[in-house]
Structure 1
């Protein structure tokens, strides 16, 4: 998406860190009829393009 390799530096877990999280929008779909209009990859790509333009990088 960004065209660069991530420079990851893993650090030990800190107190309060959550090791795993999962997005579950079942309730909002059921209760409000919300369904995402943009997929994850497309959304990340759009955000990266906006970010680069906004911060002129």
Structure 2
């Protein structure tokens, strides 16, 4: 179950990060854009962790 949970959290963070990046770009707010980029990267890492857990059978 950890695999799906990590993948779901990762996807949610990627989406939220993309929204923040777009808002930061639209409002000319470099801090918000950078925050969104960081959140997107966090989501990508969580998604990768979920994939690794799936490959190793949740033993990570």
Q: Please give the range of the TM-score, normalised by the shorter of the 2 chains.
A: 0.3 to 0.5
